[in-house]
Structure 1
Amino acid sequence: MSTRAWAETGDDGGFGLANLPYGIFTRSGGPPRAGVRIGDRVLDLAGLAAAGLVEDRGWFAAGSLNAFMAAGRAAWAANRARLTELLGGEAHRADVEPHLVPLGAVELARPFEVADYVDFYSSEHHAANVGRMFRPQGEPLLPNWKRLPVGYHGRAGTVYPSGTPVVRPCGQRRVPGQDEPGFGPSLRLDIEAEVGFVAGVPSAPGRPVAVDAFRDHVFGFVLVNDWSARDVQQWEAQPLGPFLSKSFATSVSPWVVPVAALEAARVAPPAQDPAPLPYLRTAEPWGLDLRLEVLINGGRVAEPPFREMYWTSPQQLAHATVNGAPLRTGDLFASGTVSGPGRGQRGCLLELTWNGAEPVTLADGSARAFLEDGDTVTIRGTAPGPDGAVIGLGEVTGTVLPATC
């Protein structure tokens, strides 16, 4: 079988035969349907199914991927193998080509309906930097940080598709130098460059999902921007965790990259010391060599390395369900801010500007401590694939609109 699809034209942009990510698209005002990206085109899965070229049980002529995600690992593998067959050899070209749509002719939607949303805090570099900023006289990491994947439960209803504008949130915040809090627009609006995974196959209540069952439940990965109001967060997160500072908007990329497409990107994660408790121990290396890029108004400000994440995705899933919480189709789990050891590898403005004390210079020469109205933030990602291929994760983008309070 060819390693290159006949549908590819020139540089595939990381969306070649080794990738085949899933998404939801509309065309010319038509109904939403499932598609797979190949190069600069979208393969209409509903059209293929209607023509009898792929198996379909009501999966693809739908407004989300949820039904297909719930079908399970065997169905995912069978469809991936069939698409590879259809696109990898000229024998099927005449039948398949009518179902290819130029990427520029479609509108992309949020690829799945979000059941629950959990955001972790799994980068040691990020957590240590935050600790140094806000607890300069103490240890950078709290005592439990290396014992479990710290996280919080977010709000599924404000997970938006890439391209959705983000209205600057309002809330309580205490301005430095004032004793009492006030109310108004966030003055320290930030982003968090993250990677998320989405569950396909549910689990039963009271039955934890083991680390080695990750592939049986998880459909794929997306890019995430967990927008954050740092001034609201600093005031409200005493003594509990984030609430209104995080719940106003989370953006996800339009393409879900299958777990199978990232096998070649798996690497050993950072050494974990102390050794995790047994339910968090993994027999396989589940670090992922994903390379992120953060842009503000088109200019690159950071390149966070996902392979530096201390807690891995299977460990996050195992911890999220170890208390018996059931897994549901569409559950989204985000990694937390991705940061590396270098200044240019920090995945949020809080770190890049050291809480506003060291503003970054943008491509147009302007400076930013935190985001201003009108700023557009884009997060991109790639990973190594088999035989030198590149796996594209696409991008997630959003533009800040003025507050309405």
Structure 2
Amino acid sequence: MAEHADSGRGRPGPGGAVPALARLYRALHAHPEPAFEEHRTAAEIAERCSRLGYAVTDRVGRTGVVATLANGPGPTVLLTAGLDAPPVTELTGLPYSSVHDGVMHARGHDMHMVCLLGAMRALTAGRARWRGRLVCLFQPATETGRGAQALLGDGLYERFGRPAVALGQRLSALPPGTVGCRPGQRFAACDVLSATVYGSVRPDFAPAELAAAIVRRLHRIPDAIPDPGMAHVDAGLFSTPRDPLYSGADHNSEAVAQAHILINARTFQESVRTRVLSAIVRAIHLEALSAGADRVPEIRQVRSLPGIGNDPPLTERTLTAFTARGMAVIRPGPCAENLAMGRVLAATDTPACFWLLGGGLVMPEAEPDGAGTPALFCAPSRIEPTIATGTRALTAAATRCLGAAA
């Protein structure tokens, strides 16, 4: 079979490239690398992009890769995928499990990378049908959110141009062979805060008890929102970590009894985001005051990432492209997961469309519509069909956004 077998509608499809991409997927999954340490992954991606005929620039934003392909006058389309893996210990038992303890491709970035490579190959094969310029970004350090800032600081747009649109996908718990897409707010804004609370002069008072009361109160904050589904607040106690990123505590003062809380707020509207963050700060201070804490709680923001809203006209074009290819489309609700790409796009207000790629995830209590908390222990139950669907979706969406050949 030719590498770019026809999709059945007169357009290049994944064809015989899928088995090779599946082998690459297993290799990437077995050798994950954390944020800003994606050296082996980036080198592999850069080499494959170069073999496809793209102009490749590596070490963008420290460890990112940007591959471009110009094909006459027309719009610039940005396609994205992440390179890094989170600090998760793999427990799937898969034959291609991570060989590195404490690091795993638990968010599907390995699948996103191979689907993007598949789309790049298909778009190259079908370039007689379109005009414009492709910018394919393999983003570093998406799990920490610091990669987006590194890309902007390294002059991403100054060096590679401002795109007309941005497209991407996220592996999800939707059924294999489907894609989930809808206009409007798609992926949540994410705010992570740390709070340190202190003891009091009362001998029977324990700061851990205050922290537990605060956590219970924080979990009730979404109930006060007119539409509770527009906000998710998770909070929990944790011991003082070695990484100072998560603590504002004075580690040199052992005389001060203290407890630490980590808070993760996900919201889908800016007005709700402002309201929720204010409610979090207010709840912490009120509980501390009520308990008679002898020091004011210390609260600081660890991470703040904007959400991604799907541009309505662009999304309708994307949905049209999917249906024209005969793809099974589901319109799920908003997803509480955050994409670090939101910070990159917000810098230029680039119209975007991001969708969910069905893959039958191996994960605890999978959400049937692909929404909810970020998936852990993420791996598709059927690798090759998932790659074929993801490749076809990216190819269709990009082709629709690029200029038509004369």
- TM-score under structure 2 normalisation? 0.28
Q: Radius of gyration: which is bigger? A: 2
Q: When you count helix as a share of all residues, which structure comes out higher?
A: 2
* TM-score scaled by length of structure 1: 0.28
